[in-house]
């Protein structure tokens, strides 16, 4: 008994270290992302880009992720998760470096696309890893580790980006992001192991590859993922369009500085970090759909107050509300989607979740940027809120609660 217990203890310790390293790699990715998010809209506008083009530059990162999410899920099921966790950051590191090096909007569009390609691969790999080591009873909390890692990076990143952007030039934030990813690659190579669940799924995945495309589509339609996917689109639409594009431009329009913008981003992420930590527990104990209604209401209130904000203090209150609302929604959509993954398609499902999200991330900035250019900031905020309200209502009305169902690891 004692040798078996020791072996189990060693395996658990290795899995714990590996999980910590995966989350650290996500943190290192997003500390760079957080450092560059407040800088990017200002950088491209300084190069002469219009508001619509600025939105396109922000959104094309999502286009890159959109293109690689599903392929990353398929490849992870064939060759394993660890290679995905190395390839993604390597590509993204190159993209960040080129963004800092280029001095024209078309070339920055290209470099942002490259960064997005790597980001899609990396985040899908991390999501699959955490889904594989979780169970139905703890999935909300386990999946929230990725969100917590993302938000920790995005909380610290904007402060760093705002500081080095003012001190060393706007391009320096992108070089910093590139170096952070290289550190993440070293961490993955030296400490991460494949989850043992993958070995049990190898035969199942071989059978999965024999399914026809029409059967695969039918399986996913029957799984009830579509309403959750639409809501995921709306939350990423809000994040990239409302918060990453409209917010910094609107704050600048109101007369505030890049440091104010960086602080706004950091406070939002810190608030979202706190909220996500709580919501992971809520969805495991009270139900996956429980946080959706309060989360959406808080975001709608924050959009209204953002339009009225005329002081730095008011902006900080709005940042706190943005973070609380988004944090509540993240755990609900991520856990519902993972719970409903058809057997044998777990990796593809996590890739599909990111695909829905990155579709919203991709279209949000150019759409809201165009609305600002055509009408005004208020119209963009109203559009953002209406889309989120409509798609979240679909989940409330048409998605079955998965807490308490039979185990589906």
6's CB contacts (< 8 A; 6+ apart) are none
Are 118 and 93 within 8 A, CB to CB?
yes
- 3-state SS record for 246-265: HHHHHHHHCCCCHHHHHHHH
Is pLDDT of 124 > 70?
yes
Per-residue pLDDT, averaged over 116-128, amounts to 89
Token match 């993209």: residue?
95
**How does residue 28 score in pLDDT terms, banded at 50, 70 and 90?**
very high
Which of 110-119, 126-135, 287-296 is predicted with the least confidence, judged by mean pLDDT? Answer: 126-135
Domains of the chain in start order, with CATH, are 15-192+212-398 (1.20.1250.20)
Q: What is the pLDDT of residue 7?
A: 39
Query: What is the three-class DSSP state of 394?
Result: helix
Which of 21-35, 200-214, 312-326 is predicted with the least confidence, judged by mean pLDDT? Answer: 200-214
Please, what is the average pLDDT of the chain?
Answer: 81
Q: What is the pLDDT of residue 5?
A: 47
Token match 């809209």: residue?
41
**How does residue 207 score in pLDDT terms, banded at 50, 70 and 90?**
very low
Q: What is the pLDDT of residue 43?
A: 81
**How does residue 390 score in pLDDT terms, banded at 50, 70 and 90?**
very high
Q: What are the tens digits of pLDDT across the range 68-84?
A: 888 888 888 788 888 99
Cα dihedral: 316, 319, 320, 324 (round 10): 170
Is pLDDT of 118 > 90?
yes
Number of helices and strands in the chain (H, E):
16, 0
Rg (CA), the chain: 20
340 alpha carbon, distance to own chain's centre: 19
Would you say the pTM of this structure is higher than 0.75? no
Of 283, 384, 386, nearest in space to 333 by CA? 283
Q: What are the tens digits of pLDDT across the range 331-351?
A: 888 888 888 877 777 777 777
Is pLDDT of 409 > 50?
no
Q: Is 334 exposed, middle or buried, given 0-12, 13-18 or 19+ CB atoms closer than 10 A? A: buried
Q: What is the pLDDT of residue 393?
A: 92
Are 384 and 303 within 8 A, CB to CB?
yes
Q: What are the tens digits of pLDDT across the range 251-272?
A: 888 888 777 887 887 788 788 8
Structure tokens at 342: 């058809």
**How does residue 321 score in pLDDT terms, banded at 50, 70 and 90?**
very high
The stretches of 192-311 forming alpha helices (DSSP H) are: 197-208, 213-222, 226-236, 247-253, 258-285, 292-308
**How does residue 216 score in pLDDT terms, banded at 50, 70 and 90?**
low
**How does residue 297 score in pLDDT terms, banded at 50, 70 and 90?**
very high
Round to whole Å and give the CA distance between 300 and 294: 10
Are 133 and 142 within 8 A, CB to CB?
yes
């Amino acid at each position: 008994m004692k040798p078996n217990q020791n072996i189990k203890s060693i395996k658990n310790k290795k899995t714990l270290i590996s999980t910590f390293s995966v989350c650290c790699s996500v943190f290192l990715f997003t500390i760079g992302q957080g450092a560059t998010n407040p800088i990017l809209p200002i950088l491209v506008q300084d190069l002469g880009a219009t508001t619509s083009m600025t939105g396109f530059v922000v959104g094309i990162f999502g286009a890159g992720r959109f293109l690689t999410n599903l392929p990353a899920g398929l490849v992870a099921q064939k060759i394993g998760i660890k290679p995905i966790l190395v390839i993604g950051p390597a590509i993204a590191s190159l993209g960040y470096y080129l963004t800092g090096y280029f001095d024209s909007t078309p070339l920055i569009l290209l470099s942002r696309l490259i960064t997005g390609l790597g980001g899609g691969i990396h985040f899908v790999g991390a999501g699959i890893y955490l889904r594989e080591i979780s169970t139905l009873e703890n999935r909300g909390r386990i999946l929230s580790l990725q969100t917590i890692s993302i938000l920790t990076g995005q909380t610290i990143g904007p402060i760093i980006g705002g500081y080095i952007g003012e001190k060393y030039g706007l391009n320096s934030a992108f070089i910093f992001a590139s170096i952070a990813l290289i550190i993440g690659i070293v961490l993955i190579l030296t400490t991460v192991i494949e989850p043992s669940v993958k070995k049990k799924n190898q035969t199942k995945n071989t059978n999965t590859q024999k399914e026809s495309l029409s059967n695969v589509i039918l399986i996913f339609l029957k799984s009830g993922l579509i309403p959750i996917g639409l809501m995921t689109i709306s939350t990423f639409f809000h994040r990239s369009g409302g918060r990453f594009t409209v917010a910094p431009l609107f704050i600048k329009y109101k007369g505030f500085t890049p440091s104010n913008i960086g602080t706004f981003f950091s406070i939002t992420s810190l608030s979202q970090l706190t909220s996500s930590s709580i919501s992971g527990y809520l969805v495991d104990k009270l139900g996956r759909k429980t946080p959706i209604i309060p989360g959406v209401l808080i975001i709608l209130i924050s959009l209204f107050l953002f339009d009225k904000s005329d002081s730095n203090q008011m902006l900080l209150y709005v940042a706190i509300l943005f973070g609380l609302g988004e944090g509540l929604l993240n755990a609900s959509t991520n856990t519902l989607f993972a719970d409903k993954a058809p057997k044998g398609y777990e990796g593809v499902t996590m890739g599909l979740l990111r695909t829905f999200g990155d579709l919203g991330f991709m279209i949000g900035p150019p759409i809201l940027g165009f609305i600002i250019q055509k009408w005004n900031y208020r119209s963009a905020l109203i559009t953002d809120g209406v889309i989120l309200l409509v798609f979240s209502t679909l989940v409330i009305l048409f998605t079955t609660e998965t807490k308490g169902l039979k185990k589906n690891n």
